[in-house]
Amino acid sequence: MSDIFAELAQAVEKQNIAGAVEKTKEALSKNVAPLDIIQKGLAAGMKVVGERFESGELFLPQIMMSAKAMNEAMVLLTPELAKSNNTASAGVAISFVQEGDIHDIGNRLVSTMLGANGFEVKFLGVDVPNEKVVDEVKTAKGDKVLLVGSALMTTSMLGQKDLMVMINEEGMRAKAKCMFGGAPVSKAWIDEIGADGTAENAAEAVNVAKKIM
């Protein structure tokens, strides 16, 4: 089984779009769990890509192709993840990528998983200003709403701190349950800004979301 995960990771690492799709189909036909395909295969490959980019071994066009490989595979996997749909309502989630940031692969994955686990997810997209998030909390139905914010850059992550200030100033802290994530987000950062939780991956995000709601 570990072979298929290594092959999936390698397809992403080598910017092999057709290969990522083909290996995903192969894994699904062998009944490998869709979340394992992502976490043990595709996302593991993306982690290596990030490290190679950081060390100057890879350049932006190559990252873009790796991201395309992962996204094409996600087209096959998203409906599979959604199949486990749990109809018990877990609440409303507002999902977004912080202003200035267009990295949406992880946020989409977390959103899909939350949707499959009973959350009614409103996905606001990428590069979302805090004002828009605050407006969404104001108009969201119910007395509690889950914010699912992602930031993949140390710069955009700072917007999460501003968002917490705005939510407090608007007197909406009791309504807005704040779960933030992305590569630079740590537990220490969550404590510093006074948010409710973070998670390293989509499966953990579901558990954290249920806990804080």
When CB distances to ligand HCB are compared, the closest residue is: 106
Query: Residue 133, interface with ligand HCB (CB under 6 A)?
Result: no
Query: Residue 101, interface with ligand HCB (CB under 6 A)?
Result: yes
Compare residues 34 and 106 and give the one whose CB is closer to ligand HCB.
Answer: 106
Query: Residue 152, interface with ligand HCB (CB under 6 A)?
Result: yes
Compare residues 43 and 128 and give the one whose CB is closer to ligand HCB.
Answer: 43
Query: Residue 41, interface with ligand HCB (CB under 6 A)?
Result: no
Residue 203's CB: how many other CB atoms inside 10 A?
A: 17
User: Residue 2 Cβ, how far from ligand HCB at the closest point, in Å?
Assistant: 19
Q: Which residue has the tokens 């350049």?
A: 59
Q: Which residues bind ligand HCB (CB under 6 A)?
A: 43, 46, 49-50, 53-54, 60, 63-64, 67, 100-107, 109-110, 148, 150, 152-155, 179-184, 198-202, 205
